[in-house]
Chain A
Amino acid sequence: MLAVAQLTCQRGARTLFSGLSFTLPEGQWIQIQGPNGAGKTTLLRVLAGLVQPREGTLTWQGQDVQECRAEWQRALLYLGHHAALKEELTPLENLRFSLGLEAFPVDEAALMEALHRFGLQEREHLPVRYLSAGQRRRVLLARLLIRPAQVWILDEPYTALDTHATQFLSTVIEDHLERGGSAILTSHQTLGLRPGMSIAL
């Protein structure tokens, strides 16, 4: 379980949010809403540990994240705005290296299957340079299927996806919640997911 208490974050002189508290139990998800520039991405980056909050604490399984950073980083999967893909490498190589970067074992068959499930058949060996924005997004999202994590932190995961992929992503998230995982995501779309909590910034 992830618990956030009295989180305050400042960017320059502007306070983005203050006194933010919530808990995220297993099997639940939170949608973070707010207008552009409200601090949704910053909040996600704070939760992921990329940005230090001005005030407030983050606790993971009852422990302060500052003290169990390694466990928290192992438990979370953060997918940001960026595709985090190398243009010169193929989708397969990109996934392989991203797992390697985090010292997770690589299962070639699982990588292939993840790419196929996201509709990237026959694109596995094409450099990412030649893929469209939606396809790149799918390569990134394929990590959801191969990188084990309890908490998914997804920044605008539905961007650039077509209707089919949008539905598929929703079922992937639904499966994840079913297995007792949890998710935090920002999105402007209404999602075909089970009812979850929502936070407005």
Chain B
Amino acid sequence: MRRDLVLATRHKSEWLTALFFFVMVTNLLPLGVGPEVSLLRKIAPGVLWIGALLSTLLGLQRLFSSDHGDGTLEQMALSPVPLAWLVAGKMVTHWLVCGLPVVLMAPLLGLQFDLPARSLGILVLSLLLGTPILSAVGALGAALTLGLRGGGALLSLLILPLYIPALIFGAGAVEADLSGISPQGHLSLLGALLVLSVFFSPWVTSLALRIALE
């Protein structure tokens, strides 16, 4: 994991792209929809969440492919350290590089949509719970499409439907708060999804990687 973090710092463009992509997507939508405050506030949670979702997708393709290309993945599979553990490390790195910056940037962008402070807090909380899900589920997709030609497009097709629950409950939490309902139910479900995906994904992903290596 430390290795990946060092690599990420050498590859600044990668995570900056993800962050700028997030900023651009969330900025373009209001420009297209028009500057009506009530409308903007209504679509804000969805737009921010979709932006977060798409920008995590950017980093996923390279998650395993560069290690696969230069043979590092083989060495990882041969390591006495369980592969699932190493995979978990890679997921954490992906989240730190692609997820965390988005979470930190979100309240600033939320301001543009005239979200009240309380809802901004809920937004950050929902993204904080939700983006690790995106990294964990995305890693599985990246492992499954590893080594396939045109794997990138397939990855999006495979993973985006799986992101739907996180999107519904994540954006739902902020919407609920905006309309004065307690967002607790949404957040709890999001938390449950997080626990499930973080627990199972490294294990299943490592199995998928072993198949890809054969």
Contacts and interface: CB of A to CB of B under 8 A. Distances in A.
Interface stretch (A57-65, A72-80, A166-174, A176-184): A72-80
B6 A85 contact: no
A23 B2 CA distance: 39
Contacts of A73: 78-80
Interface residues of chain A: helix, strand, loop or mixed (majority): loop
B71 A83 contact: yes
A15 interface: no
B38 interface: no
Given A84-B71, A97-B3, A50 B80 contact: no
Nearest to A77: B78
Size bracket of the A interface: 20 to 34
A82 B78 contact: no
A80 B74 contact: yes
Interface string B107-142: 000000000000000000000000000000000000
A131 interface: no
A71 to B, nearest CB: 8
A189 B177 CA distance: 71
- Counting contact residues on chain B (CB < 8 A from A), the size range is 20 to 34
Nearest to A76: B78
A103 B3 contact: no
Given A73-B79, A88-B10, A102-B79, A50 B70 contact: no
A103 B1 CA distance: 12
B81 A103 contact: yes
B72 interface: yes
Interface of A: 48-52, 70, 73-74, 76, 78, 80-89, 93, 97-98, 100-103
Given A50-B213, A73-B78, A89-B10, 5 more contacts: A52-B214, A80-B71, A83-B70, A86-B3, A102-B81
12 contacts: A82-B70, A86-B7, A88-B7, A93-B3, A93-B6, A100-B3, A101-B3, A101-B76, A101-B86, A102-B75, A102-B79, A102-B80
